[in-house]
Amino acid sequence: RGIWVKAMAASELEPDDADRFDYEGQCIAVYNVDNEYLATGGICSHEHAFLSEGYVADGTVECPLHQGIFNIRTGRPLSPPVTIALKTFKTKVEEGHIYVFVE
């Protein structure tokens, strides 16, 4: 089960950028980490904040609301107040577009 969904053009996402992508009620954050495209759940596991508006550095994202930090690749929480891991999604690039595998 699951489907590859076209999220955005890879050229729209610079290194250490994040962007928001919504699909059937799921909010997803897509990141450029050293020109590798990664995706996690788009809403912080602490309260309601969009991680696409967070600060991306060294493969981590810092939540814009209370500065909790997650490892983007694994979704693991790294710094308080976040304690719950983010969901992560498989990604691929085809013909210049980023695709996210949504289940």
The 14-53 site mask, x for binding ligand FES (CB under 6 A), equals ------------------------------x-xx-x----
Q: How far is the CB of 84 from ligand FES (least distance, A)?
A: 10
Per-residue b/e over 64-95, b at no fewer than 16 CB within 10 Å? ebeebbbbbeebebeeeebeeebebbebeeee
Gap between the Cα atoms of 31 and 68, Å rounded: 17
* 85 is a contact residue toward ligand FES (CB under 6 A): no
Q: Which residues make up the interface to ligand FES (CB under 6 A)? A: 44, 46-47, 49, 63, 65-66, 68, 81-82
